[in-house]
Amino acid sequence: MNILNLFKKQRIKEVDDLVVGVIEGKIKDLDVIEETLKKFQKKYSKYYIDDELSKEFESKIVHLRVNLKSIYDIEPSKKIKGNSLLSLIDDYTVIDIETTGLSTKTDKIIELSALKVRNGKIISEYSRLVNPIIKIDRFIEELTGITNKMLSREKSIEFVIESFIEFIGPDIILGHNINFDIQFINQALEELSLNLLLNDYIDTLRMSRKVYKEIPNHKLSTLIEFHGLTRDKHRALVDCILTHQIYQKTVKKVKKEGINLSSKKSRLYQKYDLSELKPNYDLIQDDHYFANKSVCFSGELVQFQRVDAAQLVINHGGKVLSGVNRNLNILILGDDEYYKSDENELSIKHKKALQLKNQGIDIDIIGESKFVEYIKGNKNSEIQD
């Protein structure tokens, strides 16, 4: 449905001229476009159609971001995060957060923790609880041991996050599934009009997939058990320490065995026969996001082997395609691919999907983190930590 018609359907009479200007392609200034997106999301969220509206509106902005540089000879929108590295280093800062849930739109940070490491040794630590201003549910209380009473005595994010960023400094940051942490941190920074966290980063989840091919999955809890470590509680600082220990063990293994981390011939990219993947009918729900949708993958996935991600889609009633065409409903990108803003760096599938969207074909383009969020949102989800 055309976005302006959707406004009319919902009887929204006061449509901001800037919103209309962006939708109709009359406004080309990136700063104005970005500011309009923020106003759009805030103003129309009260109509409870934010997701449907934002999907099309944000797709307009994606097109503008990747095309403006060549058309108008200006730089694309600001960088969203640093570069993903597979490096063996001795100096870094480990980060981990706890949140009220999985969505950066509706959930909040409740704990920020970090460890400063020099020459492979921890030299200082940072850990602060954060008042999310909203109540956390019993599941989070039981998982983390953090209670609403504890949080009520703490300061909110605007009084905490700058000291956290200052502690990190210019270091390369290390974390397990660190894209999750970076997205929440940058969401908070953006809401406070502060500079984003753009440090280069090492994801131990990505690295472990290349190094520990013998284990069934690469969740932090699995790696903790595999290395004979213990986790007495699910808290951010504890997870920082464990992530640091796992990284140190991984570095030693890579050096000792001469493992080539840059090799792309890993299980992540093994070819697989889509016809051999069969659904788990116990998991299929007719109202699930992937139900009856055609899905395709592009870019490196960090949390899954491609075949496992495809199986998850099929288990939830979706169909996986090998390429992008007019029948595609959803393109799932690795997070690094999803956040690229230079048109020349986009994958062939990514470019083709954008071209089809520009022709009016309704294709959702989401990153791996959003994919995980949709899968975990299912009460029967196989993904747990």
Phi and psi at residue 193, in whole multiples of 5°?
60, 35
| Cα–Cα dist 315/309, whole Å | 10
Catalytic residue list contains 63: no
| Cβ within 8 Å of residue 182, ≥6 positions away | 81, 173, 197, 201
What value does the CA radius of gyration of the chain take, rounded to a whole number of Å? 21
Report CA 184 to chain centroid distance, whole Å: 9
Burial grade of 384 (CB within 10 A; 0-12, 13-18, 19 or more): exposed
Phi and psi at residue 158, in whole multiples of 5°?
-65, -20
Burial grade of 208 (CB within 10 A; 0-12, 13-18, 19 or more): buried
β pairing state of 121-129 and 173-175: unpaired
Please tell me which residue in 234, 244, 316, 350 is annotated as part of the active site. Answer: 234
Phi and psi at residue 99, in whole multiples of 5°?
-135, 170
CB atoms < 10 A from the CB of 381, how many? 15
Task: Encode 38-97 in three state secondary structure.
Answer: HHHHHHHHHHCCHHHHHHHHHHHHHHHHHHHHHHHCCCCCCCCCCCEECCCCCCEEEEEE
Report CA-CA distances (Å) from 88 to 107, 119, 128, 201: 33, 11, 28, 12
Q: Which residues are catalytic?
A: 234
